[in-house]
Structures are given as C-alpha cells and as structure tokens.
Amino acid sequence: MPNGWELPVSFYFKVRIMLNEFAFKEVSGLSTEVETESVSEGGVNNYTHLLPKQVKHGNLVLKRVLMPNTGPEVLWIRQMLEGDLSIPVVTMPITIQLLNSEGIAIYNWVCQDAYPVKWDIGSLDSEKNNVLIETLEFAYTTIKRL
C-alpha cells in the first residue's frame, strides 16, 4: 500500500471507559451529521437554500456478553440508569481504538461527555443455546477522530 497505509479491518478494536479497557462484540453509533434548515427566497421558485443548523451525533451503542456487576464503570452506569436522577449526571470520555495486525491503534475516536442512556439484554429463550448479550447505549456531546 502507498506510504505504509494498510487496509483497516473492523473486527480488531478496543474500548476504554474510565481508563479501563473492555472487550465488546460490537460498537456502533460513531456518527456525525449536520442538520439543515430549508429557507425559501421570495421570487425564487426553482430551489430553496439549505443552511447548516447544528451538528448532532448518534448514540454510541456497545454490545458484549453480560458481565458481572463489579467495577467502577458498572457502578457509574447503574447510578445513572437505576437512580432517581437526584445526583448530578457524571460524564466520562469513551475512547474507541481501531487496531492494526500488531495491536497498535491506527484510528482513535473519543466520545466526549458520554453518559449512559439505555441498558438492554437479549431475550431469554429456553429453546436456544445463545450467549446472553447486553447492550449499553451512551449519549455524547462531541466525537473527535484522532
């Protein structure tokens, strides 16, 4: 490949929350979009102006095998989702690193001011022999690619 660039693969990554690394089955929601507003100009009938309005992000969705209720990150998630919102919302950066074949980060995304907004587990079904997956969803204010 030119200039030492290698084709990135999507299956070799790690996630860092509260300075701890975690293994997840899937990461999604790394998205940014500019909302637009249509403005019609008087006397112009063949087009409308599309003006940028604000930047918005999708929620960060992390999937993994259901894990034990231990560790500071689990306590943070539980306080947000099981509490009564009487305590202030504590935000944390979440870093996703895409790794090369040697395990070195080639792309980094940092979701700033993230906080949990949803927790879900897959269905419990006595007729299936599947691993139970939990889904954690986080809102965040900005995403930076480093």
* Domain ranges within the chain, ordered by starting residue: 2-145
- Name the pLDDT band for 34 (thresholds 50, 70, 90): very high
Tens of pLDDT, residues 89-98 = 899 999 999 9
pLDDT above 70 coverage of the chain, percent: 97
Does residue 134 sit in helix, strand or coil? strand
Q: Comparing 25-29, 68-72, 117-121, which segment has the lowest mean pLDDT?
A: 68-72
Token digits for 6? Answer: 């290698």
CATH of domain 2-145: 2.30.110.20
Measure CA 73 to chain center: 15
CA dihedral in degrees (120, 125, 128, 132; nearest 10)? Answer: 20
Residue type, 65: V
Question: Which residues are registered as beta bridge partners of 48?
Answer: none
